[in-house]
Amino acid sequence: MAGERRHKGMRLSKLYSFKCLKPFSKEDHSQIGSRGYSRVVFCNDPDNPEALQLNYRGNYVSTTKYTAANFIPKSLFEQFRRVANIYFLVVAFVSFSPLAPYTAPSVLAPLLFVIGATMVKEGVEDLRRRRQDIEANNRRVLVLSKNGEFSKTKWKNLRVGDLVKVHKDEYFPADLLLLSSSYEDGVCYVETMNLDGETNLKLKHALEITSVEESSIKNFRGGVIKCEDPNEHLYSFVGTLHYQGQQYPLSPQQMLLRDSKLRNTDFIVGVVVFTGHDTKVMQNATDPPSKRSKIERKMDKIVYILFSILIVIAFTGSVFFGIITRRDVTDDGKKMRRWYLRPDRTTVFYEPRRAVLASFFHFLTALMLYGYLIPISLYVSIEVVKVLQSIFINQDQEMYHEETDRPARARTSNLNEELGQVDTILSDKTGTLTCNSMEFVKCSISGTAYGRGMTEVELALRKQKGMSMRPQDDEIKANPTKSVKGFNFWDERVVDGQWINQPNAELIQKFFRVLAICHTAIPDVDGESGEISYEAESPDEAAFVIASRELGFEFFARSQTHISLHEIDHVSGEKVDRVYELLHVLEFSSSRKRMSVIVRNPENRLLLLSKGADSVMFERLAKHGRQFERETKEHIKRYAEAGLRTLVIAYREVDEEEYRIWEEEFLNAKTLVTEDRDALIDAAADKIEKDLILLGSTAVEDKLQKGVPDCIEKLSQAGVKIWVLTGDKTETAINIGYACSLLREGMEKILITLDSPDIETLEKQGDKDAVAKASFQSIKKQLREGMSQTAAAATTDDSANEKPEMFGLVIDGKSLTFALDKKLEKEFLELASRCGSVICCRSSPKQKALVTRLVKTGTGRTTLAIGDGANDVGMLQEADIGVGISGAEGMQAVMASDFAIAQFRFLERLLLVHGHWCYRRIAMMICYFFYKNLTFGFTLFWYEAYASFSGKPAYNDWYMSCYNVFFTSLPVIALGVFDQDVSARLCLKYPLLYQEGVQNILFSWERILGWMLNGIISSMIIFFLTINTLASQAFRKDGQVVDYSVLGVTMYSCVVWTVNCQMAISINYFTWIQHCFIWGSIGVWYLFLVIYGSLPPTFSTTAYQVFVETSAPSPICWLTLVLVTFSALLPYFTYRAFQIKFRPMYHDIIVEQRRTERFESGTRTASAVSGELPVQVEFTLHHLKANLSRRDSWN
């Protein structure tokens, strides 16, 4: 069939050796039809009665949490999972009974308000998700209809078995089985960025039997796919196609997954296998683990404390109540003590003869009465505040990335304050610290180093030698005619065709030809401008093709068998087209670490062009090919030091005979369908990749992202530890570590590795147990050594506290496996925590997550993981906070993250400014909440003591129910949203301020209990001052005396004034909003009093006209108010004054510094500038020294 192809296209499947036609494991396929493998798909026949009977789900996708039907019950259920809310619900129910100290509506109203507000929030969030769903469900795709034509259909109407046609750059609407593509052999390229975050293109390959032309695919009927049931494994698929009496095994190679994108292929035709929620991507869409911040967890504890206080005071009250009530009737039952209560004819709640029962009921009443100790609106206020805080994070212009047009996004608002407490940052390297866009910066050809471009590391070195950076900058700027992405190479000897005049021009030509031919990239010619861009599997490869294009070896076309270049002839200097016949591609794999192509050049000579890692390439050189080996090795070493990735370039000529013999063997291996096929292909490839002639090496820079070193420096000044977990090799990781000032000058490095000769020999012997044992012992020994090293430093060094700065730990992946062993993890963590920086190289995604868990649970401190790729997802989900970089590599990390930023450097602002503020705000807010509720709640308790603990509240019911909602909530929210101790600029200038959060100073138990104590003291001051000034005497000139309603109003006014003024003196930042809310709340209270008091007495009861008629005209009420408010604030104010005097907090000092700065107005600007400059200078020096010492110690 393959030979009869009519249309022109590529037979890429022939070229690739490893990717296509992977052997199938018979085992899996034998399971088809059994449990777990029972899916049957009737291709192009969804209306088949059998298919209808199967009743597979449609392609409608819903990611919403609620539906219209279950919204109310489900969201209510969610609400009442909170202890506090359950308590209030119970209270609300009991309030309908005579037990209630106040009327039921006044209890229900705030609860309904709070629950309602939260439900509205949930609803709005869900509506947003729903809108996204609708958008996805209504996208259109071409489906083969009954009349044999492709017509547009909505995604949601797709059915299993439908034949769909997807065009270039469209998303697949469901999991499809690839039938055919625009390429004649049915291959297509897929971008799976949304699934696994990898940007490279994946090659998918249809079965030969199905890869027919579009016109004939329409007649593709009768095929039946039997395959596995829906599952979440992205990289596995087991199935069989039954077609025309034959069975064809199916593999993941034929699967096109929903949410991945068709690239580089005009169109494909596929059959829908899994739809909607059955698709792999939806099966994978588990809710990310919901994270709660430490503060919130602690808050729960405080709520429990409050519950205990509640129970204790309720119990105390009940005991007294019981005793008093029992005495109301004498034992013989004849005499009544408090006869006016009619204890002889009473209900069970006041029955003196059953005082124990009565006091039990009283206990229930008291639980309700003192319910104001538990802030009902706390949770809802916190949620509101956090959402608003998130909006501020999203709106921050300083965290907006112009190039990618991405602002920061807080994907969850739960963790805002956690951002202010980060102790350890675990960072990915590639794409996070670096841009993950490779730039070709240097090369070494035939022993000569080319490339004048400077890497960041080199720039630092150069500066250290005293040379100015400036001229270099100018040179670089002046010379390249245009800046090209992926290309940062400049050398006057080579660019603009100048290489022709070099003595080794011929080798240079060969070198760049290898780069231009030996790859798997695909050119994409822009029809209008003629510019060529490339689709490559890896950014490195793209950089090579671009480099060769820029230097005159423009790869512009790839066909099935040919690669075409525009070249400059080195003799004539003219541009000519050269076409190379592509015979074989021996692809890159992680075990081979090299890639080769076999081509026939226009001169009809067979060439093997090869590029690969130095470790595998040098051993494959021919004797006569080692001419420049020494120089090249020297250069490679230097490049590695400069933080560059290197590859060795080599070639050889193959004679026809040798090729013929080899090809036969190779093709044999390729067509085998056995388990060891890969090994055989490997071996075959190995046979021809030998006797190579060295051409040189390339050096590609994975550039550090902008501002990374500064950011890391700032964060470490803030006392945050940074661990880098990378998949890179040790050397590269260390280099990057230096480049971004993670490892510094004067740091003692502790390297833990298993690359020791004895273990290698053991490995060669192949005894796995022995290797494991020896490795374990070796790691143990190295950890112990490290410990003693750090311990020694601690004892010898006087300034013992300097020690965390002194060590840098570097550990590789293999060692990490053992270090993470249960037996060693403690020691490992101990050692790591003694080191300032930790770098884990060659770590797998799983190890990243394990390390994160170890740090999180081992130290109990807050960890933040930051990464950009799918390999970081585990880490992001494991850490307390996951920050995704929404950079080059897909959205997978972002989808799993809690916060998404565009660049690593925004982390600085996210933590030091927003984190600090949010932490501070939430901590203060919670403390204040408890304060205000204790203040209020305890006045009730004191009043009880004066009402024989009968459960009579001191205030009118509605005053009380409005307390948390109207009179005190807005200022707290303003505090939670707007308060700043110091401005953003100062937060960044004094990173040490961040330690307030890390050490949890603002939310320590002392502080919380202090605030609670303040609340209790305030309540005592309020109550006792009020009842004593408004005692039994007349309180107005007209001789009237204070009654229940007047005392209630006055005391309540005192509470409202006190808690609001307390807010006013404890916040640091007064904008019009704060003024508005604080004074407004007090105003609302009086407004409420007037309005409520003017309602008919049946509604207002004791509040009827109480303000207007009774208490407002009484001077003593106002004098009491002034006295009480000031007195109640005095303890706090005095404490603060003492604290600032003797034990100021860090932010106090900074605020003062700012003030003194302002006073020194003349020198202010100058000092501000000079105060900031030295930091940078010092840092740069630091950086340089670091690189210098690194050179000495590492290489």
Residue 1158 touching other proteins (CB under 8 A): no
Residues 345-384 that bind other proteins (CB under 8 A): 345-347, 349-350
For residue 796, the minimal CB distance to other proteins (Å) is: 18
Question: Cα separation of 1084 and 966, whole Å?
Answer: 8
Listed in sequence order, the residues at least 6 apart from 880 whose beta carbon sits closer than 8 Å to its beta carbon are 291, 293, 294, 415, 418, 422, 856, 862, 863, 864
For residue 1122, the minimal CB distance to other proteins (Å) is: 8
Closest CA relative to residue 790, chosen from 841, 822, 836: 836
Residue 169 touching other proteins (CB under 8 A): no
Please state the φ and ψ torsions of residue 247, each to the nearest 5 degrees.
-115, 135
Binding residue for other proteins (CB under 8 A) from 122, 184, 191, 641?
191
**DSSP string computed for 554-590:** EEEEE-SSEEEEEEE-TTT--EEEEEEEEEEEE---T
Diameter of the chain measured on Cα atoms = 131
Q: Is residue 645 part of an annotated ligand binding site?
A: yes
Residue 660 touching other proteins (CB under 8 A): no
For residue 542, the minimal CB distance to other proteins (Å) is: 4
Distance in angstroms between the alpha carbons of the first and the last residue of the chain: 58
Please state the φ and ψ torsions of residue 1032, each to the nearest 5 degrees.
-85, -10
Nearer to other proteins, 168 or 677 (CB): 168
For residue 23, the minimal CB distance to other proteins (Å) is: 30
Q: Which stretch binds other proteins (CB under 8 A): 42-50, 54-62, 400-408, 786-794?
A: 400-408
Residue 6 touching other proteins (CB under 8 A): no
Q: Tell me the C-alpha to C-alpha distance, in Å, between residue 353 and each of 332, 339, 342, 344.
A: 10, 14, 13, 9
Contact 933, 376 (CB under 8 A): no
Q: Which stretch binds other proteins (CB under 8 A): 1-9, 503-511, 933-941, 1108-1116?
A: 1108-1116
The token pair at 254 is 């034929």
Nearer to other proteins, 1040 or 1165 (CB): 1040
Residues linked to residue 202 through DSSP beta bridges, in sequence order: 190
Q: Which stretch binds other proteins (CB under 8 A): 267-275, 628-636, 650-658, 713-721?
A: 713-721
For residue 1142, the minimal CB distance to other proteins (Å) is: 8
Closest CA relative to residue 142, chosen from 307, 269, 301, 329: 269
The token pair at 233 is 């494994």
Nearer to other proteins, 562 or 1036 (CB): 1036
Using CB under 8 A as the binding criterion, the count of chain residues that bind other proteins stands at 150
Contact 827, 784 (CB under 8 A): yes
Binding residue for other proteins (CB under 8 A) from 237, 450, 1088, 1104?
1104
Nearer to other proteins, 213 or 531 (CB): 531
Closest CA relative to residue 931, chosen from 1075, 1118, 1129: 1129
Listed in sequence order, the residues at least 6 apart from 1032 whose beta carbon sits closer than 8 Å to its beta carbon are 1041, 1042
Nearer to other proteins, 304 or 1138 (CB): 1138
Contact 143, 151 (CB under 8 A): yes
Binding residue for other proteins (CB under 8 A) from 1105, 1180, 1185, 1194?
1105
Nearer to other proteins, 839 or 1030 (CB): 1030
Task: Tell me which residues are annotated as active site.
Answer: 428
Residue 1096 touching other proteins (CB under 8 A): yes
Q: Is residue 588 part of an annotated ligand binding site?
A: yes
Q: Which stretch binds other proteins (CB under 8 A): 69-77, 154-162, 246-254, 401-409?
A: 401-409
Binding residue for other proteins (CB under 8 A) from 209, 888, 1061, 1188?
888
The token pair at 953 is 């509240």
Residues in the chain: 1195
Question: Cα separation of 815 and 820, whole Å?
Answer: 9
Binding residue for other proteins (CB under 8 A) from 712, 901, 1042, 1103?
1042
For residue 497, the minimal CB distance to other proteins (Å) is: 18
Q: Which three-class secondary structure state does DSSP give residue 167?
A: strand
Q: Is residue 428 part of an annotated ligand binding site?
A: yes
Residue 132 touching other proteins (CB under 8 A): no
Residue 1143 touching other proteins (CB under 8 A): yes
Listed in sequence order, the residues at least 6 apart from 616 whose beta carbon sits closer than 8 Å to its beta carbon are 592, 593, 594
Residues 935-964 that bind other proteins (CB under 8 A): 946-948, 950-952, 954
For residue 859, the minimal CB distance to other proteins (Å) is: 9
Residues 722-761 that bind other proteins (CB under 8 A): none
Residues 492-531 that bind other proteins (CB under 8 A): 521, 524, 526, 529, 531
Residues 612-641 that bind other proteins (CB under 8 A): none
Binding residue for other proteins (CB under 8 A) from 516, 1046, 1054, 1063?
1046
Residues linked to residue 612 through DSSP beta bridges, in sequence order: 594, 648
How many of the other CB atoms lie within 10 Å of CB of 187? 27
Q: Is residue 690 part of an annotated ligand binding site?
A: no
Nearer to other proteins, 475 or 805 (CB): 805
For residue 338, the minimal CB distance to other proteins (Å) is: 5
The DSSP letter of residue 963 is: I
Q: Which stretch binds other proteins (CB under 8 A): 171-179, 219-227, 270-278, 540-548?
A: 540-548
Residues 978-1037 that bind other proteins (CB under 8 A): 978, 980, 983-984, 992, 994-995, 998-999, 1025, 1027-1029, 1031-1037
For residue 798, the minimal CB distance to other proteins (Å) is: 13
For residue 38, the minimal CB distance to other proteins (Å) is: 39
Q: Is residue 611 part of an annotated ligand binding site?
A: yes
Contact 916, 1146 (CB under 8 A): no
Q: Tell me the C-alpha to C-alpha distance, in Å, between residue 749 and each of 640, 752, 1193.
A: 18, 10, 9
Residues 80-99 that bind other proteins (CB under 8 A): none
For residue 1185, the minimal CB distance to other proteins (Å) is: 18
Residues 473-492 that bind other proteins (CB under 8 A): 482, 484-487
How many of the other CB atoms lie within 10 Å of CB of 381? 25
Residues 20-79 that bind other proteins (CB under 8 A): none
Q: Which stretch binds other proteins (CB under 8 A): 11-19, 562-570, 811-819, 1064-1072?
A: 1064-1072
**DSSP string computed for 602-648:** TTS-EEEEEEE-HHHHGGGB-GGG-TTHHHHHHHHHHHHHTTEEEEE
CA angle 315, 321, 322 (to 5 degrees): 90
The DSSP letter of residue 336 is: B
Residues 544-583 that bind other proteins (CB under 8 A): 545-546, 549
Residues 416-445 that bind other proteins (CB under 8 A): 423, 436-438
Q: Which stretch binds other proteins (CB under 8 A): 178-186, 442-450, 785-793, 1120-1128?
A: 1120-1128
Residues 756-785 that bind other proteins (CB under 8 A): none
CA angle 573, 579, 581 (to 5 degrees): 145
Calculated CA dihedral for residues 132, 136, 139, 143, nearest 10 degrees: -170
Binding residue for other proteins (CB under 8 A) from 1152, 1160, 1172, 1178?
1152
The token pair at 616 is 């595998």
Residue 1174 touching other proteins (CB under 8 A): no
Q: Is residue 726 part of an annotated ligand binding site?
A: yes
CA angle 602, 606, 607 (to 5 degrees): 100
Binding residue for other proteins (CB under 8 A) from 17, 19, 87, 101?
101
Residues at the binding site are 428-430, 541, 588, 611, 645, 726-728, 842, 848, 868, 871-872
Residues at the binding site for Mg(2+) are 428, 430, 868, 872
